[in-house]
Each structure stands twice: as structure tokens, then as C-alpha cells.
Amino acid sequence: MSELEMPTVITAIANPEAEGFVAGTLYAQGWNVVFRAIDWTSLHTYLQSNAELCKNVLLIFGTDLPGADKKLLDSLNGAVRQVIGFSLPNVENQDFGVLNPLPTVGTDLISLVRGFVRAPLVRTNSVTQRKPRTSKVIAISSAGSYTGCTFIALNIAMELSLLEKSTLLIEANFRAPSLAPLLSMRKITDNSQWKKIAPNLSLSEITQSTSDDLTDFMGKVTDEFDFVVLDIGSISGLSNRLTDRRWTSTVTTWCCDQADELMITSRADYLGHHRLLQVIDLLQQTSIRAQLSFTQNMKSSGKRGDAEMARFLTAATALKPIRVRSLKQEARSVQAAQDEHATMVETNERSQLRKAIAELAREMAT
């Protein structure tokens, strides 16, 4: 199985309700469920008859599978790509080795199975369990390129800090990191994990060398700060990234599973709207835990702006987001902030764009 292919799955669960939940949830995500075994004999027969195909499948079994035991399942090493075991309620569990409680919510099941695809040799509860926390994590992403995603992330983080909320802004756009040049910084962090750049506002980054410890790092920062804002860049091809094992997809996957909010920014022009529709189409086929919000950037004035807003609302509201915002184009104000390597509150506090971003931050903080 290549890193970008959607998983192929065999289920081996006797309970029809449990099997229907697993197979139906995975099928709805576009994953190919090639066989649904009801006992060990049918499973073994299928594996022997389709040996080459089965080398690349995920086998999902339940502890209620008739005729199965640990020795038989261990014998499948090499015959299938990965084995995932679920303990079922009201079933006496034999010694099957490592088992997972069968999730009751589709997004939890998807998150767990994705985790096996990305990291089959390392499994912890942290991949599927969202730990209770008092902080709020907001991932700011982009539908396409040049949407102003980084600029919005920077200014939202600054506005949150002005509300007396301790805020950490994280550079996590591996493909096109932009925070350092926007702030005229040569390096975001040296030996420390984050750097204070203003009262209540700190800056950090996630790199290839630190991505392996992402779960521990995010646990630490959510304990330390009231808000964590991540600039994760473009999420085009989202469904493939969620099962991609490359380090560049690590943060996107974590944010879809663990963030409180995934904000998707888009341009208001025709091409920007086209990219937004592509992302929305992917999201309609992909279950994620994070709540969605949409921000249209660079909206025109007058009748053109009204038309841009109307088509944006039609597209975005289909996914029932927690908020939908539109920001008018203010090229001069944005350029002035970029020229001074500063935020809008520092260069043009009274601009309408700055006020709109401040209002958005206040809404997030309440």
C-alpha cells in the first residue's frame, strides 16, 4: 500500500451490529471493505484464495469471531499488512494480545484506524482519546494558496493576547513557513520550546525533528497557555493526508483529531472559491473531530462583494460550521503591516479589517 492510497480493509466480527458499524463507517470514508468474515474458517479461506491482495489489507477483528484465538491470529503475520483487534461488550475476551475497546462514535473509529495506518508499530491511547483541557486549540488552514492564512493566524493570536489570554502561535506550515519572514525573524526558536514576542503572546514552531514528539509537546503547551493557534497552511488533499505516514502530515492529522476548531480560510475571487469547493467536497467525505469554521478573505466591495459573500455562504453553511466570517479586502492596511513586520493593531488599529479580526478573536474567547 502506498503512503497515499486509502486503506483496504477486511472485517472479521460476528456481531452484525458491531460489524455493520465498523464496515459502514469505513466505507462512508471511501475505504474499500473487500471482505466481511463471519468466522475464522471463512476468513482463512479468503486469505488463502487472495494471498497477494491481502498482503496490503488491514484486518479488523472482534473478540467474538468464532474459531479464532491468539495463536491463529498471530499466524497471519505477513499475510496481512496490519491486524487491529476490538474487544466487544458482553463477550468474554480470550488472550488475544493488545485489544482496543470498540468505539461508539464514528469519528473515534476513523481516528483510531488512521493511527494504525500512519504508525502501525506505535499505538497509544493518546492517538484516539482527547484529553480534558481548559485551553483552546485553533488550527488555521487554507483552501488553496495566497488566502492570507498566516496573516490571519498572526493577527488572531495578537488579538487574543490583548484580551489577557496567554496565547501561543505555532508555525506548522511545513510546505511554506511564513511567520518568521512576516515578523522579520531569522529563527523562531533556538533551544527553548517557545519564545515570548509580546505580553501574553509567544511563538513556537514544529519541525521535522520535533514532529515525532508532537503529542507530548501539544500536551505541554495546552497546559501552559489559554489559547494555542496553529498555522497549518493548505489542507488540499485532506483525506489522503489523514492516512499519510510522512512527517509533513503529522500536524494536520493531529489538528483534525484533537483541535477544538479547524478554521478554513479562502479567497473571495473565483479561483479561491473553486479551491474552497474542492476542500468542502473532501470534508463531506471525511469525518474529523475538530469543529469547522470558515473565513472568507479579501472580499470585494459593492455588488461584487455581495455576490462573493452569497456563494461563500451557500458553500460553507452546508457543513454546519460553528462560525462563518467574511473579511473585506484592505490591501493598503495589510501591506503596511507587512512592511513594518507587525500586526494590524500595531500599524492601523482603527482599520475595519483589524476591527473584524478583533471581533472574531473576542468571539473565540467567549
Domain boundaries, the chain: 8-124, 136-365
**Element of type H or E holding 298:** strand 291-299
Residue 125 is predicted with a pLDDT of 43
Q: Which helix (H) or strand (E) holds 138?
A: strand 136-142
Predicted local distance difference test score (pLDDT) of residue 2? 41
CA gap 263, 261 in Å, rounded: 6
**Positions of the chain with pLDDT under 70:** 1-7, 92-94, 118-131, 190-191, 239-245
50 three-state secondary structure: coil
Determine the Cα–Cα distance for residues 253 and 256; give it in Å rounded to an integer. 5
The H or E element that residue 101 is part of is strand 100-101
Q: What is the pLDDT of residue 341?
A: 95
Give the CATH number of domain 136-365; options: 3.30.930.10, 3.40.190.150, 3.40.50.300, 3.10.310.10. 3.40.50.300
Question: How much is the pLDDT for 127?
Answer: 45
* Strand partners for 62: 86
For residue 126, the tally of other CB atoms under 10 A from its CB is 16
State the CB neighbour count (10 A cutoff) for residue 135: 18
Shared fold status for 8-124 and 136-365: yes
The pLDDT score that the predictor gives to residue 5 is 53
Torsion of CA 239, 240, 242, 247, to 10 degrees: -150
The string of pLDDT tens digits covering residues 192-221 is 789 999 999 999 999 888 888 898 999 999
Say which DSSP state 212 is in.
G
Residues 119-130 pLDDT 10s:
554 444 444 556
Cβ-contact 143, 272 below 8 angstroms: yes
* pLDDT (0 to 100) of residue 6: 60
For the record, the C-alpha cell of 346 comes out as: 500595531
- Cell 487491529 appears where? 84
- What pTM value is reported for the model? 0.74
How many CB atoms lie under 10 A from the CB of residue 77? 8
Query: Domain 8-124's class?
Result: alpha beta
59 backbone dihedrals φ, ψ, rounded to 5°: -100, 120
